[in-house]
Amino acid sequence: MRSSKACGPLYKWAESQVKYSSVFNQVQPLREEVARLEHEEEAAIAHKTKLENEVAKLEHSIEQYKSDCASLIRDVKALKREMETVTKVSREESLITSLRKESDSWSKSSNGFRRILRNLVGDGLVMAAFLAYLGFVDGSCQPKRDCRGFRRFGSALKIRGFVRHRNPR
């Protein structure tokens, strides 16, 4: 039997087509898997970019919140200092009010004492004159005495400024 010169290469071609078909059948699912993985990679990259942007925004927000918190803490400390000052001032105001009342009380007492001192000499003279006028008299003869001279003596003392009119208490 004699074979044709075209048959050998045709056989090799057919054999290579069968091998190619079997390799193609094995590679085709791998190609589909590569395409699917490439698509998932693109989706993962997009998701990663989105998450990185969100993280950057959150980090910026955190920095903003930190600065706001620090500002609020400073404000709270300032308010505490101001409250302490207000408390001290209110205590000081109540102390000043109390001292003012005490000062008024002392002033009134001092004015009363000055009034007593001013009248002391005149009162002493009036008392001395009264005792000199009465002398050593017992109670039975006192109503018979005439007090006109005593009244004239008291008027003279008032005129000269030794005795002043007293305010009733």
Residue 155 has pLDDT above 80, yes or no: no
Average pLDDT, stretch 5-11?
Answer: 85
Contact predicate 149/133, CB 8 Å? yes
- H helix intervals, the chain: 7-134, 148-159
Band of residue 122 on the pLDDT scale cut at 50, 70, 90: confident
Query: What are the Cα distances from residue 142, in Å, to 53, 55, 57, 148, 163?
Result: 119, 116, 113, 14, 25
Q: Which amino acid is at 42?
A: E
Q: Both ends of the chain: CA-CA distance in Å? A: 166
Q: What are the sequence ranges of the domains in the chain?
A: 7-159
Q: Rounded to an integer, what distance in angstroms lies between the CA atom of residue 54 and that of residue 47?
A: 10
Band of residue 168 on the pLDDT scale cut at 50, 70, 90: very low
Query: What are the Cα distances from residue 70, in Å, to 52, 56, 60, 62, 78?
Result: 27, 21, 15, 12, 12
Average pLDDT, stretch 117-122?
Answer: 81
Share of residues in the chain with pLDDT > 70 (%): 76
pLDDT digits (tens, 9 = 90+) for 127-154: 887 777 666 655 555 545 555 555 666 6
Residue 74 has pLDDT above 90, yes or no: yes
Contact predicate 164/118, CB 8 Å? yes
Say what the pTM is.
Answer: 0.40
